Structure 1
Amino acid sequence: MVDWEAMDDSELVVKAQTGSQEAFGELVRRHRSKVFGYARSMVQEVHAAEDIVQDALIRAFLHLGKLVDVERFLPWMHRIVRNQAMSRFRREGQRQETSFTTLGAPASHNHDHPEMWDQLDYVLERVSLSMEKKSLQDEIPEERLMRLETQRMLLDIISCLKPRERQIFESHFFNQLSPQEIAKEFSLSSANVYQILSRSRKKVIQERIRVTVDSYIRTRRDWGIMSKVILSEDPIQEKGESWSTAGNVLHALAKAAGKNVSPAMVMGLTGLAFRMNILPENVHIAGPTAYDFADVFPRGLRNLGLTARVVDGMTPVIGVNANLLEDSAKSIKAIQKRDIHHALPEALDVIHHALDRGYPVMAWDLCIPEFGMVYGYDDERRVLFINECGRKDTLDYHNLGRGVLEEIFVLAVDASLHITFKDQLREAFHMIIEHYKGNELQAHVPAGAVKGISAYDAWCEAFRNKKVEPNGNAYNIAVFGDSKKYAAQFLSEVASSWNLTEDPHANMVELLVEAAETYRQTAEVFRKLHALFPYPTGGEPNGKEYASQAITLLEQAKSLEIKGVQQLEQILKTLN
Structure 2
Amino acid sequence: MKKLDITWDGTFDSTGYLFSFAKALSCAVRNSPYSDLAEDIVASSGFAFRMWIAADLCPSETSIWDFGRQPEWIQNGGLTVTHMNCCWQPENVLNDARNDALPKIKESIDRGIPVVAWDIGVLEWGLITGYDDETERFATLCINGATDEMDYSRLGNREMPMLNVVIITGRTDKAQADIIADTKALARTHLGGEEPCENAQGLRAYKCMIEILDREDPELAASWNMEYALGTFGALKWYAWKFFEKYGKAGLAGLYKTVYESWQKSFELKKTADMSSAKNREAVSELLKKAYECEEAALQML
TM-score normalised by the chain length of structure 1: 0.46
- 1:400 is the counterpart of 2:155: yes
After superposition, the Cα gap between the structure-2 partners of 1:416 and 1:531, relative to the gap in structure 1 and judged at 3 Å, is: closer
Shift of 1:520: 1.0
Asked if 2 retains the 8 angstrom alpha-carbon contact of 1:367 and 1:404, the reply is: no
1:454 to 189, 201, 204: 204
1:266 to 29, 33, 41: 41
Asked if 1 retains the 8 angstrom alpha-carbon contact of 2:270 and 2:284, the reply is: no
Deviations 1:16-59, CA, capped at 9 Å, x for gaps: xxxxxxxxxxxxxxxxxxxxxxxxxxxxxxxxxxxxxxxxxxxx
Asked if 2 retains the 8 angstrom alpha-carbon contact of 1:303 and 1:425, the reply is: no
Matches within 5 A, 1:173-252: 230-233=2-5, 236-239=6-9, 240-242=11-13, 243-252=18-27
Residue in 1 that maps onto 2:137: 383
1:481 to 219, 234, 240: 234
**Which 10-residue stretch deviates more, 520-529 or 250-259?**
250-259
Deviations 1:89-140, CA, capped at 9 Å, x for gaps: xxxxxxxxxxxxxxxxxxxxxxxxxxxxxxxxxxxxxxxxxxxxxxxxxxxx
Whichever residue aligns with residue 484 of structure 1, its letter is K
Shift of 1:373: 1.1
Aligned-residue Cα RMSD (Å) equals 2.6
Shift of 1:533: 0.9
After superposition, the Cα gap between the structure-2 partners of 1:432 and 1:541, relative to the gap in structure 1 and judged at 3 Å, is: same
Residue in 1 that maps onto 2:213: 463
SS of 1:529's equivalent? helix
**By percentage of residues, which structure has more strand?**
2
- In structure 1, runs of 5+ residues without a counterpart are 1-227, 316-338, 496-511, 570-576
Deviations 1:271-293, CA, capped at 9 Å, x for gaps: 1211111112x222233444323
Residue in 1 that maps onto 2:79: 306
1:370 to 124, 131, 135: 124
After superposition, the Cα gap between the structure-2 partners of 1:543 and 1:352, relative to the gap in structure 1 and judged at 3 Å, is: farther
Deviations 1:56-87, CA, capped at 9 Å, x for gaps: xxxxxxxxxxxxxxxxxxxxxxxxxxxxxxxx
2:293 to 549, 553, 559: 559
Matches within 5 A, 1:18-57: none
Deviations 1:250-275, CA, capped at 9 Å, x for gaps: 12332444213254312211112111
SS of 1:438's equivalent? coil
SS of 2:147's equivalent? strand
- Aligned pair count reads 289
After superposition, the Cα gap between the structure-2 partners of 1:246 and 1:274, relative to the gap in structure 1 and judged at 3 Å, is: same
Asked if 2 retains the 8 angstrom alpha-carbon contact of 1:246 and 1:371, the reply is: yes
**By percentage of residues, which structure has more helix?**
1
SS of 2:117's equivalent? strand
Matches within 5 A, 1:259-338: 259-280=34-55, 282-295=56-69, 297-314=70-87
SS of 1:343's equivalent? helix
Q: Percent identity?
A: 21
After superposition, the Cα gap between the structure-2 partners of 1:490 and 1:251, relative to the gap in structure 1 and judged at 3 Å, is: same
Asked if 2 retains the 8 angstrom alpha-carbon contact of 1:365 and 1:401, the reply is: yes
2:165 to 388, 405, 410: 410
Distance 1:541 1:520 in 2: 25
After superposition, the Cα gap between the structure-2 partners of 1:401 and 1:540, relative to the gap in structure 1 and judged at 3 Å, is: farther
Residue in 2 that maps onto 1:119: none
SS of 1:440's equivalent? coil
2:279 to 498, 520, 545: 545
SS of 1:533's equivalent? helix
After superposition, the Cα gap between the structure-2 partners of 1:305 and 1:531, relative to the gap in structure 1 and judged at 3 Å, is: closer
Shift of 1:558: 0.9
- Structure 1 runs (4+) deviating above 4 angstroms are 339-342, 538-543
Asked if 2 retains the 8 angstrom alpha-carbon contact of 1:231 and 1:355, the reply is: no
Shift of 1:362: 0.8
Distance 1:237 1:550 in 2: 32
SS of 2:134's equivalent? coil
Larger relative contact order (CA 8 Å, sep ≥ 6): 2
Whichever residue aligns with residue 246 of structure 2, its letter is E
After superposition, the Cα gap between the structure-2 partners of 1:484 and 1:255, relative to the gap in structure 1 and judged at 3 Å, is: closer
Distance 2:62 2:283 in 1: 22
Matches within 5 A, 1:107-146: none
